[in-house]
A and B are shown apart, each in its own frame.
Chain A
């Protein structure tokens, strides 16, 4: 086993351990001790509004698959979809999910049906997890149809995107419906930052479960993220100081090449 492999295993075990530790020591289950994120505050309000006015939420999961390196974005999107369904349990129309990857489309359909069944609301025969296109721009063109629907009152874009995301955000702007958007790809994050009404920057995309009432364990995983953030900051500062003092590549053996 290489040193890097060992470091990787240490990271995984430490992360899971921290998550479980926070879960156990967290006192008050329903009091979330997380900073406010404007995108999720707006999302919660839009869920309430869609339940009140009998309209539908539209969640788009991007065109990234789940077997490639962009799988984290799609999995985060599916987690947010699950929380939205739970939050809007008493709505007339369950949320509609569109995506540009077949696997993610099937998973979104399963998530909608099983979560609805778990909190026994009828989704009826209408399949609400749709594959709208298989290339990035055909996915964007297909999603425009859903955004234009007068039934949709808000759009949530969480997944893997490219330049075509500008179509979705400007269609939301033309329609006058809010667009809450987040992705892991940096160039499309810059486009979302400029054109979405409520952008989710950087890793804010991955904490949707905790902000939408996922429960103690989700908040524990966010706290674990925070702990690792400070470990990384410590390592950077330590490495920079050692580097300055002439120690070449202080941790490269630990963090070096993978194979």
Chain B
């Protein structure tokens, strides 16, 4: 026995049944004749047909809308119009469209949304209402002003099946019983359907199937629409409220012949009504920023709640390319770096959060963006130069598809408008026939949870192509003020002491034997030297430390020269030879040593440790000439020196513990002379062990200005170390207090921030 499929719930019912056993909806249309005064358009489809969402079996409280629906149906049948209790947001629009009410019910049951998000129907942008066939505005109205091309360009008018919406019963039937041609015509009341446009012959195989698939679709679409019209028309009395009261009052312009034909044409080309899926209805126009969508989080089922949380600020950061990030942005965003190699939960959460931002498929968002773009931003059509205008042939009006009567293609749009036989400016979106089949088969009846998962999958795929800028790491803000404060305090105090303080003439400070044992030992060794004893002095410090070594070594070298020792300078640094000359010139002027007589500059000894080793074995072959090119080994300072063991003392000036270690390990053997060192204060902790071993690898050492000061105290000859004594001590005092206060303040600041639970320094 043939069955009737209920329009509302899609379930089969026995043929003789009038009302659907499952959902109580009417199965057979009422045969009432349309009243004279209401133009056909009123019988037009309800402006927006909302596919009821299949309630999840588990959600009992969602079935209440069905009961309401049933009461309405019974009211309709009895013809009574029950003024609907209006919600405040619909105060100014009297509710007459049952579909609008369902939509409102839908939104109420989902969540108690904030008022501004509840876009009333009026909030739909004009293109949507025009698109959806504003119920209040009679269809014919658009004909008055040149078939009002909806603001939406043609390519945006998306076929319903693209939206993966629930297939209409005809499609379902088609799936089961195969396409219409093969089936014998369906018995059933012939609606006064709009005559089908004859089917166009299938295009030649080589000819690109330009418009064909579209045509076919259209015919399917038309069929569906016709059948649709069979379904219960807008129940009598349910007036779909005009989006805008003024439009209603606007007198409908008189229809003249031509407009009437255009209107009819308009009807033949079924509007590609875009029926929005239920989730799209929640996206009220004007609701772009993720911030608003975030409020929609409540709709997201519990198990996906953890994915919510993508804030507008991240949206900004994501949109902003690194180059656009202002270069000077010292306090940077908190560190939430996404590391593709090893993500922490916080970052994983952020990654999924992004998924909830783009609800809509990209084609719709671009449509919404286009609608929202202020007028001046839309690209104004370029005006063609005069000569091109003149060249364009005058062509009579062609139909929108661009085919003139002789089947010749004439371009409709763009600068080449009017020229025939060219590639169409607007490529049609080709969808192979099978796609439709696949599309339609995809539109199964899905529950809300399944729909959410589908959206999630869609977003994950859409997400892949999107380049996400990685957030900047948090860098502790540089304390510029602390730096300036330190500079000011240090330089002012040192300058004041240097200008007004003067040096310390006598050795006020008590001499600590234990601490300066190295200086004592070196003093004794130099004290034992005789006149003209050859001493090898290595200038192995960097020019940067010339200042410190002038203060530290001037006393020691002065003592050497006062003993009349002959000095030979060598250096394993390229700048060493010149430093040696500069040292003598600026600190030992009073001794009047002459190059070649009392001292000799052997110059640069390259090769580091290897050079030292070879110099210690065969000095004459390694350095045949002096630094100035003269013959070194015949001059008085090196008289009788064949190898390194012939020197009375080897004195090394260096700030680098490694250089000191090289001299000790490569040069020193059992038979080498005593080795003294003058080192920078930073090398003292590492040179001390060489002095403490027994036998001593370093016979004596002086470290830093204090060592030099102690040595000058021993020799009783105040020199540069004494001159620097007061500023040096002032500097130490100032530094110790600044570091102590600054360090304490920063420590307390960090502890305070730790109390407040914000990330401060590292607590590992």
Check A246 for interface membership: any CB of B closer than 8 A.
no
Check A186 for interface membership: any CB of B closer than 8 A.
yes
Q: Are the CB atoms of A45 and B686 closer together than 8 Å? A: no
The answer, among A44, A68, A186, A259, for a CB contact under 8 Å with B341, is: A44
Q: Are the CB atoms of A48 and B341 closer together than 8 Å? A: yes
Contacts of A176 in B (CB 8 A): 329-330, 332, 475, 478
Question: Number of A interface residues, CB 8 Å?
Answer: 33
Distance (whole angstroms) from the CB of A210 to the closest CB of chain B = 16
9-residue interface stretch from A49-57, A122-130, A214-222: A49-57
Q: Are the CB atoms of B608 and A45 closer together than 8 Å? A: no
Q: Are the CB atoms of B478 and A186 closer together than 8 Å? A: no
Contacts of B329 in A (CB 8 A): 176
Distance (whole angstroms) from the CB of B337 to the closest CB of chain A = 6
Q: Are the CB atoms of A177 and B475 closer together than 8 Å? A: yes
21 of the cross-chain contacts (CB-CB < 8 Å) are A44-B339, A45-B337, A49-B473, A52-B468, A53-B322, A53-B470, A65-B608, A67-B608, A67-B610, A69-B609, A69-B662, A135-B543, A136-B542, A136-B544, A137-B544, A164-B544, A176-B475, A178-B473, A185-B656, A185-B657, A259-B669
Contacts of B421 in A (CB 8 A): none
Check B187 for interface membership: any CB of A closer than 8 A.
no
Check A204 for interface membership: any CB of B closer than 8 A.
no
Check A234 for interface membership: any CB of B closer than 8 A.
no
- Where the two chains meet, the residues of B that have a C-beta atom closer than 8 Å to any C-beta of A are 322, 327, 329-330, 332, 337-342, 468-470, 473, 475, 478, 542-544, 574-575, 607-610, 655-658, 662, 665, 669-670, 682-683, 686, 762, 764
Query: Who on chain A is nearest to B474 by CB?
Result: A176
Q: Are the CB atoms of B470 and A187 closer together than 8 Å? A: no
Contacts of A136 in B (CB 8 A): 542, 544
Check A226 for interface membership: any CB of B closer than 8 A.
no
Distance (whole angstroms) from the CB of A115 to the closest CB of chain B = 19
The answer, among B339, B608, B655, for a CB contact under 8 Å with A69, is: B608
Check A35 for interface membership: any CB of B closer than 8 A.
no
Query: Who on chain B is nearest to A54 by CB?
Result: B322
Q: Are the CB atoms of B658 and A162 closer together than 8 Å? A: no
Check A174 for interface membership: any CB of B closer than 8 A.
yes
Asked, given contacts A44-B341, A49-B337, A186-B686, whether A68 binds B475 with beta carbons under 8 Å apart, the answer is: no
Distance (whole angstroms) from the CB of A194 to the closest CB of chain B = 11
Q: Are the CB atoms of B658 and A69 closer together than 8 Å? A: yes
| Assembled-state Cα–Cα distance A257/B697 (Å) | 11
Q: Are the CB atoms of B475 and A178 closer together than 8 Å? A: yes
Q: Are the CB atoms of B542 and A187 closer together than 8 Å? A: no
The answer, among B478, B608, B657, B764, for a CB contact under 8 Å with A68, is: B608
Distance (whole angstroms) from the CB of B84 to the closest CB of chain A = 54
Check A258 for interface membership: any CB of B closer than 8 A.
yes
Contacts of A137 in B (CB 8 A): 542, 544
Contacts of A70 in B (CB 8 A): 658
A52-B469, A55-B322, A150-B327 are known contacts; what are 16 more A-B pairs with Cβ within 8 Å? Answer: A45-B337, A49-B339, A52-B468, A65-B608, A68-B608, A68-B609, A69-B662, A135-B542, A162-B655, A164-B544, A178-B473, A178-B475, A185-B656, A185-B658, A186-B657, A186-B686
Contacts of A259 in B (CB 8 A): 669
Q: Which label, helix, strand, loop or mixed, suits the secondary structure of the B interface?
A: loop
Distance (whole angstroms) from the CB of B423 to the closest CB of chain A = 37
Contacts of B339 in A (CB 8 A): 44-45, 48-49
Distance (whole angstroms) from the CB of A158 to the closest CB of chain B = 17
Q: Which label, helix, strand, loop or mixed, suits the secondary structure of the A interface?
A: loop
Residues of chain A from 144 to 177 with CB closer than 8 A to chain B in the complex: 150, 162-164, 173-174, 176-177
| Assembled-state Cα–Cα distance A49/B544 (Å) | 37
| Assembled-state Cα–Cα distance A49/B657 (Å) | 38
Q: Are the CB atoms of B656 and A162 closer together than 8 Å? A: yes
Bitwise interface map of A from 42 to 76 toward B, beta carbon under 8 Å scored 1, else 0 = 00110011001111000000000101111000000
| Assembled-state Cα–Cα distance A131/B58 (Å) | 72
Distance (whole angstroms) from the CB of B563 to the closest CB of chain A = 31
Check A38 for interface membership: any CB of B closer than 8 A.
yes
Contacts of B762 in A (CB 8 A): 38
Contacts of B610 in A (CB 8 A): 67
Distance (whole angstroms) from the CB of B325 to the closest CB of chain A = 9
| Assembled-state Cα–Cα distance A150/B575 (Å) | 34
* Shortest Cβ-Cβ A-B pairs, 7 listed: A68-B608, A52-B470, A176-B475, A53-B322, A187-B682, A45-B339, A150-B327
Q: Are the CB atoms of B608 and A49 closer together than 8 Å? A: no
| Assembled-state Cα–Cα distance A150/B327 (Å) | 7
Residue among A53, A197, A258 facing the most chain B CB atoms (10 A cut-off): A53
The answer, among A48, A54, A258, for a CB contact under 8 Å with B340, is: A48
Bitwise interface map of A from 247 to 259 toward B, beta carbon under 8 Å scored 1, else 0 = 0000000000111
Contacts of B669 in A (CB 8 A): 257, 259
Distance (whole angstroms) from the CB of B76 to the closest CB of chain A = 60
Distance (whole angstroms) from the CB of B345 to the closest CB of chain A = 16
Query: Who on chain A is nearest to B329 by CB?
Result: A176
| Assembled-state Cα–Cα distance A67/B608 (Å) | 8
Query: Who on chain B is nearest to A49 by CB?
Result: B470
Distance (whole angstroms) from the CB of A206 to the closest CB of chain B = 16
Query: Who on chain B is nearest to A70 by CB?
Result: B658
Distance (whole angstroms) from the CB of A4 to the closest CB of chain B = 12
Contacts of B608 in A (CB 8 A): 65, 67-69
Query: Who on chain A is nearest to B338 by CB?
Result: A52
Contacts of B478 in A (CB 8 A): 173-174, 176
Residues of chain A from 9 to 53 with CB closer than 8 A to chain B in the complex: 38, 44-45, 48-49, 52-53
| Assembled-state Cα–Cα distance A99/B377 (Å) | 51
Distance (whole angstroms) from the CB of A184 to the closest CB of chain B = 8
Query: Who on chain B is nearest to A187 by CB?
Result: B682
Residue among B322, B469, B470 facing the most chain A CB atoms (10 A cut-off): B470
Query: Who on chain B is nearest to A249 by CB?
Result: B694
| Assembled-state Cα–Cα distance A60/B2 (Å) | 84
Contacts of A45 in B (CB 8 A): 337, 339, 341-342, 473
Contacts of B340 in A (CB 8 A): 48, 52
Query: Who on chain A is nearest to B475 by CB?
Result: A176
| Assembled-state Cα–Cα distance A258/B575 (Å) | 30
Q: Are the CB atoms of B658 and A163 closer together than 8 Å? A: no
Query: Who on chain A is nearest to B616 by CB?
Result: A259
| Assembled-state Cα–Cα distance A69/B764 (Å) | 34
| Assembled-state Cα–Cα distance A3/B101 (Å) | 100
Bitwise interface map of A from 185 to 215 toward B, beta carbon under 8 Å scored 1, else 0 = 1110000000001000000000000000000
Contacts of A68 in B (CB 8 A): 607-609
Q: Are the CB atoms of A53 and B665 closer together than 8 Å? A: no
Contacts of A173 in B (CB 8 A): 475, 478
The answer, among B327, B469, B764, for a CB contact under 8 Å with A38, is: B764
Q: Are the CB atoms of A187 and B683 closer together than 8 Å? A: yes
| Assembled-state Cα–Cα distance A214/B475 (Å) | 29
Distance (whole angstroms) from the CB of B612 to the closest CB of chain A = 10
